[in-house]
Structure 1
Amino acid sequence: MDTNRKLFLFTTTLLLLFSIAIMINAGINFRQYAYKNAIEKSKMTAEIVRDGLTAHMINGIMDKRAFFLRSIANTKDVKNLWIIRAKSVIDQFGEGLSNEHPRDEIDRKVLKTGEAVRKIFETTDVAILRVTIPYKASAYSEPNCLECHNVKEGETLGAISLEFDISDVRKEGIFTLLKIAAITLVFILIAMLAVKILFRPYLEFFNNLQESLKRARNGDFSLKVTTNIQTKDIRLVADLYNQLIEKFQNTIGTIEQKLAILLKNSQTNCSDPLEKSSNTIDMLSKIHHFKNTIELDKSLPQIYNRIAHIIRQIMETENFIIYNVESKDNTREIAYSNLDKPVCEVSTFKNASKCRAFRTMNIVLSDQFPELCPYFCGDFKYYHCIPYQVTESFSLVITLLTNDKKQADHFKRQTPTLNYYLENAKPVIESKLLMEQLRQKSLHDGLTGLYNRKFLEEFIDQVTHQAERQETKYGVLMLDIDFFKKVNDTYGHDVGDKFIKLLADTVKSIVRDSDIVARYGGEEFVVLLHESTPEGAIKVAEKIRTVFAEKSIYINGEHVKKSISIGVAFFPSEAETIREAIKHADVALYKAKERGRNRVIVFEQSMFKENSY
């Protein structure tokens, strides 16, 4: 509904409601006037009848009262009149005339209660007001009622019932209301005509303004607002609006171009340049907040959790995997996944170049060709793999999965948006990778490639509480090369380094991947055997000792061999912490040296009491 119709309907409704209110008020006033007039007349008639009957009684002509009552009943507007005797009067003076008795329930109620009753009976043709007024005995009236009647003060002697015809007053009220309605209708028509004439220029102005705003919303700022209204305020509004859209016309294109530079290849279905710019700014704000957030994250797993959250928001799915791909060693691992089982064959992890998305650095869409990726083994109908290169040696591959074609199409549309987030995450991921590489270097021994003592200290603090909760067992080996100082003194430190590396390689070849091997310092090594039994730990220690003893290093035309001594301890059976177990193993190693070297000694508590340590 346009403004013109709304204004017309509003004004008409308001005037009609005002007219109805006036007519209702007038009708109520006429009715109350007729009712009040009849009531006053009934009171006056009752007084006249009472005084007349009293005069008849005093003059001893009560038998002549019928004429008097008929003359009263024949007055104007009195339709009917009769009097009623109370039982006390009947008992004292007799029944009276034939019509001097209660005619209905109203008469009986008034005689019983002594309270006047007023009631209107209306039909479509007539309106009758019935009034029944009691007469009460009083010694204080003139004459004294108690002198003639054997009654008590205030007792009802009788009543008078009157019926008044108020039909003429009602008709007069209806006629008056019709005149008011006619006058109101004429006033409404005049008001509508005036509204239409006076408000037409204003409505045309607002319609013109509305059309200009519609065009501006779609990026067309060419329509200016014109008006013939001479009112200063309206002309000022028109001028200010025209200046505003002219500024928009001059600047919006520039804003859109500059925002497009920030988001390359921006894709949106919005044709409104203002809304398009607003959406672009909103996206930039979210990306900026995302980047600031991940910059404060401590580790790559935390960043991957942030990226996963963004994927859920943009792609509207829970089925996706984030892969880390190392191009140097050609391996791939899952960095984040919500799925219970892998969707790519295991061989692609050992040989990342088999991953089509990583190998081509192009998005792989399963709806392009059937079985596009021969290594996909998931239960989903559609897969959407997005590669993203972070550094020369490190890339991400995000695999989105669905069984719904509409959602697969949604993946395509939202991929550029996801790339904006990944582009901003790139320097942060690169920085975290560098920090992780530096950290790994700081935790590894440069000569052997094993963990160093710093790593071992951190590992002990982290794993002790976990081991206590999960009741994990460790066998702890402390070992070093016998008479190592003599090797350095005789052959030099280069040869000493060769023996240290030989021992490191020997230990690594014997222990499992789940075991921890660390260079503790100099020629000393610590081995933590995960979930090892005492028998198993001793067996591993003996194997390391014997295998190393058989190896040699060729020096100056001869093969030189060395032996090692090993101390063994256990956690948690004989130590409260892993740190304490390492100390026990060190004590046992000292005993192995003391007892002739080239042997494996298991820690015993009695070793603390021996004076030799």
Structure 2
Amino acid sequence: MTLNRKMTLLLGLVAIGVLAMLLLISLVAFRSFSILSSTAHVQTAAEIVRVHLTEAMITGVIDKREQFLERLTEIRDLRDARVVRSPLVVDQFGVGLAREMVADEIERRVLADGQPRFELTDERGEPVFRGTIPYIATALGTPNCLQCHHVEEGAVLGAVTIELSLAALQRQAIAAVIVVLLAVTLIILLAILGARRLIGPIGDTAGAIGALVQRALRGDFKGRVTQRTQDEIGQIAAHTNQLVAFLDQGLARISERVTQLMGRLPQQDENQLQATIDMVDGLADAARFKATIEEDETKTEIYDRFGQLLMDDFGVHRFSFYETQGPKRLIPMAVDGEIGGSCHWCDPQILVRSDTCRAKRSGHPVDGLRQPGICYAFRPDEAGRSSDPLRHYCFPIIQSGAVGSVIQLVTTAADADALQDRIPYIQIYLREMAPVLEAKRLTETLRESALRDAMTGLNNRRFLEEYVDTLIAGARRRNIRLALLMVDLDYFKMVNDTYGHDIGDTVLKGLAGILKQALRASDVLVRFGGEEFLIVLQEIDADGALAVAEKIRALVANHRFRIAGGTLQKTVSIGVALFPDDSETFWQTLKYADVALYRAKEDGRDRVVRFTPDMWEAGADIY
């Protein structure tokens, strides 16, 4: 119900209440007035009768009293007038006229107690007021009642009954009440019309503002409120229009700027306000995401966090993250939430020929959601192609002017539109993630270069210093042995002095290649310094370590290093020590392996020597 209707209903109820109260008050007032007026008339008429009877007795015409009473009833609205004698008068003067002997109950009570009585009755629909007034004997005044009547002072000599018809008075009262009610009703109607005229603009303005607010909640700020008056209500309408216009302009500017940041085009019939709120929330969430990943240690953690974000916030559970390595290779960083997973949704050819990936080759997003089949490298599984076709969307991440990573999202054809709507929001995260990834990648590259020997590509001594705690913790946790092999190239200084440092570098590179081929992926190979190399064999016993060392020695001895003008044959000496068999500390075990290497050199080189405690005692002065 509108405000105008409520106010009209309220005023109507008030008007009805006022009319009802006015009617009730009028009826009560007219009734009271009628009774008071009738009482006065009855008392006046009774007094006239009493005076007439007294004068008649004095003049001796008391026998003519009946005619007087008859003439008295001819007065308008006077229905009856009669007199009854009390027993005291009857005893003195006789019974009198026949009609004076008939006394009803009221008259008998008045004769008995001398108190007047009045009552209002209804006789066949006609209101009648009756009053019975006692005739009291008194010696006061003229004439003196006690001169004629042998009674005491205050005795009741008789009673006069007067009956008045109130029909005319009732009709006049009803007419007066009707006139008053009509006048009051007219005044109330005029008041209601005036109130509606005053209140109408308030209700209309309130309704218009309510409709305007509803439109605004739906993102439509184009509506306006009609200004109906020039008073405060009109000012409210004008100010509301100014506010909505300001919000419309402000929202349009915010939406335009946010759209530029998002790269998301407005959609038809969308809630502009809600869309802007969602975009701002997306930008804020992406900023928080960037602040979080900036504190991650490695890019692998960033990929893992972004994959979790895709699953939790965007409902994407099929995705691949690839990273470029060199000009032609792509490396899977994460596939379907599995870090280091194998290539799944694409032709594995992209791993060795990265240009077969359209996103990598073009540097532009590849929209396989709207254009299925746009990239020939996309290879959904058989189930996806038959029962529920799969679609994809690939984002290239530009780093240092080139594609550094490729993010691939995979979904079903049924969910393609839903994913398409989320693409702008995902792009925000990728835009924030790109510089952080580039920084982490650069940091890891610098770190890796600092931990690797530039010439041989092997890990260096600094790598061993940083990695040794992890290595020892893993060995103790799994309760395994570590074998440390110190490998030294025999007479390497002679190679440098005879052939030059270039040939020496070639020999060292060749030796590094031989050592890498002879070891497992779990083993650690470090260029310890100069012509010395350290090998850490995991989960092996003494016999196994000696067998590996002997294999390496034989491989080197049989190898021909190609140099300018021919070949060169070299040998190595190897010292072997076991952790924790020989020592409870890694670095002490390393010293023991070095002692064994020193013994191999002393014993003629080109040999493998296992550390024994007596070697440490003999060489204690060296260390």
Measured against the shorter chain, the TM-score band is 0.5 to 0.7
Distance 1:202 1:302, change over 3 A: same
* SS of residue matched to 1:576: coil
Q: Which amino acid aligns with 1:227?
A: R
Distance 1:562 1:16, change over 3 A: farther
User: Is the Cα–Cα contact under 8 Å of residues 322 and 405 in structure 2 kept in the other structure?
Assistant: yes
With normalisation by structure 1, the TM-score equals 0.63
* 1:449 is the counterpart of 2:457: yes
The 5 A counterparts of 1:211-610 are 211-214=211-214, 218-221=219-222, 223-228=224-229, 230=231, 233-268=232-267, 271-326=270-325, 328-335=327-334, 337-338=336-337, 343-344=344-345, 348-355=350-357, 358-359=360-361, 362-365=366-369, 368=372, 375-377=379-381, 380=384, 381=388, 382-391=390-399, 394-402=403-411, 405-553=413-561, 559-610=567-618
User: Is the Cα–Cα contact under 8 Å of residues 323 and 404 in structure 2 kept in the other structure?
Assistant: yes
User: Is the Cα–Cα contact under 8 Å of residues 266 and 416 in structure 1 kept in the other structure?
Assistant: no
User: Is the Cα–Cα contact under 8 Å of residues 384 and 411 in structure 1 kept in the other structure?
Assistant: no
User: Is the Cα–Cα contact under 8 Å of residues 324 and 335 in structure 1 kept in the other structure?
Assistant: no
- The CA distance in 1 between the partners of 2:456 and 2:13, in whole Å, is 96
With normalisation by structure 2, the TM-score equals 0.62
- The CA distance in 2 between the partners of 1:302 and 1:544, in whole Å, is 38
Distance 1:366 1:516, change over 3 A: farther
- The CA distance in 1 between the partners of 2:545 and 2:256, in whole Å, is 70
Q: Which amino acid aligns with 2:372?
A: Q
- The CA distance in 2 between the partners of 1:234 and 1:573, in whole Å, is 95
How far did residue 589 of structure 1 move?
A: 0.7
User: Is the Cα–Cα contact under 8 Å of residues 443 and 452 in structure 1 kept in the other structure?
Assistant: yes
How far did residue 455 of structure 1 move?
A: 0.7
Cα distance per residue 1:252-284 (max 9 Å; x no partner): 444433333323244556644444433333322
User: Is the Cα–Cα contact under 8 Å of residues 587 and 607 in structure 1 kept in the other structure?
Assistant: yes
Greater C-alpha Rg: 2
Cα distance per residue 1:290-337 (max 9 Å; x no partner): 222222222102211332233134422334333334352413223353
User: Is the Cα–Cα contact under 8 Å of residues 326 and 394 in structure 1 kept in the other structure?
Assistant: no
Q: Which amino acid aligns with 1:223?
A: R
* SS of residue matched to 2:415: helix
Q: Which amino acid aligns with 2:616?
A: F
User: Is the Cα–Cα contact under 8 Å of residues 221 and 244 in structure 2 kept in the other structure?
Assistant: no
The 5 A counterparts of 1:124-203 are 199-203=199-203
- The CA distance in 1 between the partners of 2:591 and 2:11, in whole Å, is 98
Q: Which amino acid aligns with 1:396?
A: S
Distance 1:582 1:276, change over 3 A: same
Distance 1:338 1:425, change over 3 A: closer
Cα distance per residue 1:388-431 (max 9 Å; x no partner): 1333665433343445x443321122122211211221111111
How far did residue 440 of structure 1 move?
A: 1.0
Q: Which amino acid aligns with 1:456?
A: L
Distance 1:601 1:287, change over 3 A: same
User: Is the Cα–Cα contact under 8 Å of residues 325 and 333 in structure 1 kept in the other structure?
Assistant: no
User: Is the Cα–Cα contact under 8 Å of residues 367 and 393 in structure 2 kept in the other structure?
Assistant: yes
* SS of residue matched to 2:618: coil
Q: Which moved more, 1:498-507 or 1:246-255?
A: 246-255
* SS of residue matched to 1:376: coil
- The CA distance in 2 between the partners of 1:436 and 1:522, in whole Å, is 25
- The CA distance in 1 between the partners of 2:532 and 2:503, in whole Å, is 16
Cα distance per residue 1:481-530 (max 9 Å; x no partner): 12223333343333332222221122122222332211001111001123
* SS of residue matched to 2:459: coil
Distance 1:451 1:341, change over 3 A: closer
How far did residue 580 of structure 1 move?
A: 3.5
- The CA distance in 1 between the partners of 2:481 and 2:240, in whole Å, is 80
- The CA distance in 1 between the partners of 2:619 and 2:374, in whole Å, is 78
- The CA distance in 1 between the partners of 2:11 and 2:299, in whole Å, is 69
How far did residue 565 of structure 1 move?
A: 0.5
* SS of residue matched to 2:405: strand
Q: Which moved more, 1:440-449 or 1:271-280?
A: 271-280
- The CA distance in 1 between the partners of 2:596 and 2:307, in whole Å, is 50
- The CA distance in 1 between the partners of 2:396 and 2:598, in whole Å, is 54
* SS of residue matched to 1:296: coil
- The CA distance in 2 between the partners of 1:372 and 1:553, in whole Å, is 46
Q: Which amino acid aligns with 1:226?
A: Q
User: Is the Cα–Cα contact under 8 Å of residues 262 and 424 in structure 2 kept in the other structure?
Assistant: no
How far did residue 9 of structure 1 move?
A: 7.2
* SS of residue matched to 1:518: strand
- The CA distance in 1 between the partners of 2:6 and 2:494, in whole Å, is 108
Distance 1:537 1:347, change over 3 A: farther
Distance 1:227 1:393, change over 3 A: closer
- The CA distance in 2 between the partners of 1:434 and 1:14, in whole Å, is 84
User: Is the Cα–Cα contact under 8 Å of residues 577 and 592 in structure 2 kept in the other structure?
Assistant: yes
Percent identical residues: 31
Cα distance per residue 1:425-459 (max 9 Å; x no partner): 11111111111111111111011111110011111
Q: Which amino acid aligns with 2:534?
A: V
How far did residue 572 of structure 1 move?
A: 3.6
- The CA distance in 2 between the partners of 1:563 and 1:247, in whole Å, is 86
Cα distance per residue 1:140-176 (max 9 Å; x no partner): xxxxxxxxxxxxxxxxxxxxxxxxxxxxxxxxxxxxx
Q: Which amino acid aligns with 2:520?
A: R
* SS of residue matched to 1:536: helix
* SS of residue matched to 1:487: helix
How far did residue 214 of structure 1 move?
A: 4.6
Match of 2:206 in 1: 206
Q: Which amino acid aligns with 1:368?
A: P
